[in-house]
Each structure stands twice: as C-alpha cells, then as structure tokens.
Amino acid sequence: MARVEQSYSAHTKAMNAKGVFTSAEIPYVVFEAADEDAALTAVLAAAPSSYGVLPLESVEIDSRENDATYKVNAVYKKETASSDDDDDDDPESTVSFDCGGGSKRMTHSLKQTRAFGTKDAGGAIGWNGKSGSEMEIAGVDIPTAQLRETYTRVMRLSRITTGFKRNVAGLVGKVNSGGFKGWSAGEVMFLGMSYSSPAKSSTKVTVTFNFAIQPNESGANVGGKSVSKKGFEYVWALSKTSAESGVPKAEVEAVYVDQVCEYASFSALGL
C-alpha cells in the first residue's frame, strides 16, 4: 500500500491585494506507489478537504523520483462565482478531431493470386525468389487512416511550471496505459503540448495538447495468420523458404507482436 508523507520543502501560498489567501499548494511524497494513478489516489485520500478557507481543488503529479516514489501537490484554491477571475482555470477543455490519409508498410498480402509462374511467394510481397540468407521481401506502402485529436484548455500561466513542463515532456511518445477520452488502453499516443503568449503580461493562456490515435485490432491478418495487437504495437512476420517438387516456396514461419512504445497515465495533463 502506498505511504504518504507531507513535505515542507516547497510549500507555496498566494494572497490577493486585500490580504485574503487565494491559493496554496501543499507538497506530498508518496512511497511504494504502483503507478501515477495510485500516487494521486493516495494523496487525494490523505490530504485535508480544505486548507483554512481554501477548498481542495486537485492533486497533481509534480515529479517521479523513482519507480515507486512520486512528488504530488495538493492544490487549494478560492472558489469564486466570477467566470473572469484570473485565478481560475477554464472548467472545460475543447476538442477537435481529424482523420486523414497516411500509409503503412505491408510485407505480406491479405490474399495473393499467382497469375504466372511456378514459385509460390506464400503471401510475401516483393519476394526476390531467393532462399536462405539471400531471401529478401521488399513489401509495399499502402494507404491507411491517420487519426488525430487535439484538446485545448485555458490555464493559469502560473500553473505551467517547469515541473509541469518536465512532466509533459516525459509523456511525449508514450501511449495511454488506461482508458482516455473514450479510447481504450493502447490506442492513444501523446504528441506534445504548445502555447504562446506575452511572457510578462498574460495570466492565462490557451494550451493545446495533441494526440495520435491508432485503434486496437483483435484479428489483424499477417501472412494468413490472425493476431491481436494494441494500436501502437508492431506486428511482423518471419518468412522461410522451402521446396515443393524442386520449386522454391516462401512461407510464414512465425509472427511476432512487439511493444515499441512505453505506456503511461495521462492524468498529469489535467484533461
């Protein structure tokens, strides 16, 4: 079970011109946490529901110290009915979706017909007809859908700390370990975030978060073999040659499913 301890090394508060506290961040250290979600859940359970007059607004990952230790901030903020208060983030994010054309490489066909000749390519596309170490399969690029989602969120510039940026950078190129915005685990890759504003005069900025989508497959056909794969896993086949009545024949010897991207929780993005 995760163990939570309050830290006093980075305790921060904010007060307005009237002398009223408007926000506070209380740092915690979580030990023996299975993952980021477990660390956040542990702090949410341990942190008081209020800090003075400030209610608990959120708990956020600040940094990961090692495989099982996390720094987590409990954020307290003054509630206000005013929608234009600079201390509040926009309560909702907006989303846009794009499905465009791309390409993927196939080394083995879904169905192959030998129109002429005696050599059996066994579904291999662009086989050079040779065997053993000289065997080569060129493959072919085919059109495929490329899905992208973009989320925008209005955030206080003061919340986009170096620690937050470091956490975001650490998630780039990683794939969702759990469900995210209606997509199943393994289907969403985080591509990065961006924003721009005058560095000195702005208190709020519109932050853009970009994601690539690749649906999971339960019956992908590779060389006549049916395999299941998560969206960003890579499937490939190993081919060999044999001979029937002295005529070379290519055939699939094995099919492999490789995890090539790390999995992570996207909860630190606050979407």
The domain segmentation of the chain, as residue ranges, is 1-82, 89-271
Banded pLDDT at 38 (limits 50, 70, 90): very high
Banded pLDDT at 190 (limits 50, 70, 90): very high
Residues of the chain by 3-state class (helix, strand, coil), percent to 5 = 10, 50, 40
Q: What is the mean pLDDT of residues 11-35?
A: 86
Residue 212 pairs in a beta bridge with: 148, 189
Query: Tokens standing for 76?
Result: 């307290």
Banded pLDDT at 47 (limits 50, 70, 90): very high
DSSP 122-185: TTBTTB-S--GGG--B--EEEEEEEEEEEEEEEEEGGGS-HHHHHHHHHHTT-EESS-BTTBPT
Q: What is the mean pLDDT of residues 28-46?
A: 93
Residue 191: predicted pLDDT: 94
For residues 224 and 252, is the Cβ–Cβ distance under 8 A?
yes
Residue 92: predicted pLDDT: 65
Mean pLDDT of the chain: 82
Query: Tokens standing for 247?
Result: 């005529």
What length is written for the chain?
271
Residue with tokens 């596309």: 125
Q: What is the mean pLDDT of residues 186-199?
A: 87
The model's pLDDT over 64-107, given as tens digits with 9 standing for 90+, comes to 888 899 999 999 887 654 444 444 445 567 878 787 776 777 77
